[in-house]
Amino acid sequence: MWKEFKEFAMRGNVVDLAVGVIIGGAFGKIVSSFVNDILMPLVGLLLGGVDFSGLSWKFGKAVVKYGMFIQTVVDFFIISFSIFVFVKVLNKLYWHNKKKEEIKDTVPTLTKEEELLMEIRDLLKQQREMQ
């Protein structure tokens, strides 16, 4: 059982996924800070100083904090859009580099016969120029 778990845990996909989750968590903190500390104060300023996180309704003793929900939805859309842009840029770079590699790979390699024919052509060209 331990051996199977070790093989599973050491597979490339599992390790890649773990790295992705860790980086995603750090990226999420950056985006959350951007939203909470930079973007939302500006949105609140544009809306006349409204702070979404403080919006709530009271029903007796229950408090419905719909402002926190609005804040979370805005966070979600900004994080989603940021990840979309990030992945789009990475894909563009990846495909750009992939095309360069394909172009390098498509450079024809000459056979021995073709090389000899090119040499004969060049020699004939030189002889004509000397005459």
Amino acid at 90: L
The reported pLDDT for the residue numbered 105 is: 63
Q: What is the pLDDT of residues 79-93, one digit of tens each?
A: 788 778 888 888 888
Contact 71, 52 (CB under 8 A): yes
* Measured distance CA(31)–CA(7) in Å, rounded: 35
Structural domains for the chain: 1-130 (1.10.1200.120)
* Measured distance CA(45)–CA(128) in Å, rounded: 82
Q: Identify the bridge partners of residue 2 per DSSP, sorted by sequence position.
A: none
Q: How many other C-beta atoms lie within 10 A of the C-beta of residue 83?
A: 14
The reported pLDDT for the residue numbered 120 is: 93
pTM score over 0.75: no
Contact 55, 67 (CB under 8 A): yes
Q: What is the pLDDT of residues 35-44, one digit of tens each?
A: 778 877 787 7
